[in-house]
Chains A and B, each alone.
Chain A
Amino acid sequence: MDEFVEIEFEDELFGISSVNKISNPYLGYTVFRLLEEFDQRFMSKTRFYKILFLVYQRLKKRGINIQLPYFWYRWGDVVCVSSLPVNVEFIKYGGMHIPHVIKKPENGLEPEKKEKIDETIKLAKLDLEKKSTEELIDEVYKFAPTEFQKEFREFRKYLDQDNTTNALLKISDLFEKFPKDEFEELHPIFLRLIPLLRYGLEKRKFPEELRELTDLFWDIFCKKLAILYNENVPFDLLPIFEGKYKEGIIQLRDKVREVENLILDDFAVLESNSESQSILEKHLEKFLESKGYL
């Protein structure tokens, strides 16, 4: 069973935040019951995060808010395990990290709520346990806070499958759905990315470079996503992610320039000193003068 790298700096993130716990007793009970109910052979860190998130959403619909602390990232939600009221240990087994709770949460919970949690977990086991990790991520993505991330995930799938036709069709959706107000700093770089993707896909060139570039873009996008979209996290995510987001933007700008140069080397200007270039420069000059560049 595959496991995804949920977050690259998990130790750093959860190490500094382990003192802040959510005190909701139903959260502890849900985690314990979920791990008790689900077959451990089908559990991994990624699956645990996704299933717990889906159970949290289902419980909310039934009027129970267990206050799951999580933030959005690349593969959907990342649960702040260090902030859970029960200690979850991950036991390494065959390349996977299997979550495990040693101590059963104390009693004193309302029986009616406990019953609803038990029922929800049993139902979740029936329809979620046999799903692949990708399918679980698909389920979580139904709750994605921005349309763009759904489109981008699709786009990346097409790119990985070398499905050029569908990837090209997706570009327009990416362009349309980019949340430019929330990701203001990233928007200009995103606009430079679009023609590179179109060119590379249309010419069927530079597939590795495009994958690396979009991977880096996604990585940076998710850092801001975590800052913007999270719930119940009992510590400040901003100082953890903001610096990495800003550094990432500089790194991404360099990478865009690198791929731009590759594509520009490949791009053949049809006529030298062309009329188009002359038209462009005439209007660019006016723009540069009006904006004080000259």
Chain B
Amino acid sequence: MNLFHDTNVLIAYCFIQDRWKGKAEAILKDDFTHFTSDKVINEFLEKEDEIIKDFYSKIVNLSERIYKSGKDNFNVDEKNKIIKKADKEIRPLIAEFLDKKVTYPVSKKILAESLQNLYFEGLKTERARYENLRQKFKEIHCRLKEYPKLESQLEQLGIHNGNRDRGILLDAHDLAILKGFTLNFVSLDDDLCQEFRNEILNLLELNEIIDLRYYSGF
């Protein structure tokens, strides 16, 4: 089976594979032939930067605040103070991390270092998965042909994100035509998988759009 993967599949696989047990990993298994496009890879790298900026770097931020704090040690009753030092987005993470992974009293150096290690561990896991994923792709398709009529029809459907969603769908369409094979599009996007699924399949040379969230094997 030939599968073309959307950016969000790469994100799920690289960032939260353990949380998606079975799904992203099962669909990316070696029995299938995997494809994606340069647009997907570029979008993934941009999103990766954003996720590092908006989530991972907040762990660094907290680690640095702890290095800078006047205290040498933290006791168990100071957990809430530490949580408050964290940016809002990562407070639940920090609360659970402080509960489960820290032994009190803890020196500021050890606490700051363990947060830095959490950052590196997350990043390392993500990069290793990304490298693994790159090797699974038989081809990263670079589309040369434009499809202005199809693009405008997709836009009329309500698929607004031109450089992203429309461009990626057309990459898959172009690949299917060039190779002359049956191609399935895999995504987690509600619009593509549910709302516009039938219309997209009518317009493009795609066999099926697979919603990874509900995938339970072929």
Contacts and interface: CB of A to CB of B under 8 A. Distances in A.
B93 A280 contact: yes
B53 A275 contact: no
Interface string B53-66: 11101001101100
Interface size class of A (residues with CB under 8 A): 35 or more
B49 A175 contact: no
Interface stretch (A22-30, A45-53, A229-237, A286-294): A286-294
B118 A264 contact: no
A96 to B, nearest CB: 42
A195 B188 contact: no
B49 A281 contact: no
B116 A198 contact: yes
B55 A277 contact: no
A294 B188 contact: yes
Interface string A166-187: 0000011001100000000000
A287 B119 contact: no
A55 B52 CA distance: 46
B15 A269 contact: no
Nearest to A191: B57
B51 A277 contact: no
Nearest to A268: B124
Interface string B117-128: 111111111010
Given A264-B120, A283-B92, A277 B15 contact: no
Contact of A195 (B53, B93, B119, B127): B119
B16 A288 contact: yes
Contact of A285 (B16, B52, B53): B16
Given A172-B67, A293-B8, A279 B97 contact: yes
Contacts, number: 108
A263 interface: yes
A284 B188 contact: no
Nearest to B116: A195
Contacts of B15: 281, 284, 288
B81 interface: no
Contacts of A280: 93, 118, 121-122
B12 A294 contact: yes
Contact of B64 (A175, A253, A285): A175
Counting chain B CB atoms within 10 Å of each CB, the highest count among A195, A253, A261 belongs to A195
Contact of A188 (B52, B96, B117): B52
Nearest to A287: B55
B57 A281 contact: no
A191 B50 CA distance: 12
A278 interface: yes
Interface string A254-286: 000000110110010110011111111111111
B53 A191 contact: yes
A273 B121 CA distance: 10
B22 to A, nearest CB: 14
B146 interface: no
B47 interface: yes
B69 to A, nearest CB: 10
Given A282-B19, A283-B92, A284-B122, A275 B64 contact: no
B119 A276 contact: no
Contacts of B122: 277, 280-281, 284
Contacts of B29: none
B120 A279 contact: no
B138 interface: no
Given A277-B125, A279-B101, A294 B11 contact: yes
Contact of B49 (A188, A194, A263): A188
Contact of B121 (A172, A176, A277, A293): A277
Contacts of A253: 49
A260 B97 CA distance: 24
Contacts of B67: 171-172
Contact of A276 (B55, B121, B123): B121
Contacts of B160: none
Interface in B1-47: 8, 11-12, 15-19, 47
Interface in B62-90: 63-64, 67-68, 89-90
A287 B89 contact: yes
18 contacts: A188-B53, A191-B57, A195-B63, A261-B127, A264-B123, A264-B127, A267-B120, A277-B125, A278-B18, A279-B97, A281-B16, A281-B122, A283-B96, A287-B54, A287-B89, A288-B16, A291-B54, A294-B11
Interface of B: 8, 11-12, 15-19, 47, 49, 51-55, 57, 60-61, 63-64, 67-68, 89-90, 92-93, 96-97, 100-101, 116-125, 127, 188
Q: Which 4 A-B pairs have the closest CB atoms?
A: A283-B93, A188-B53, A191-B57, A175-B64
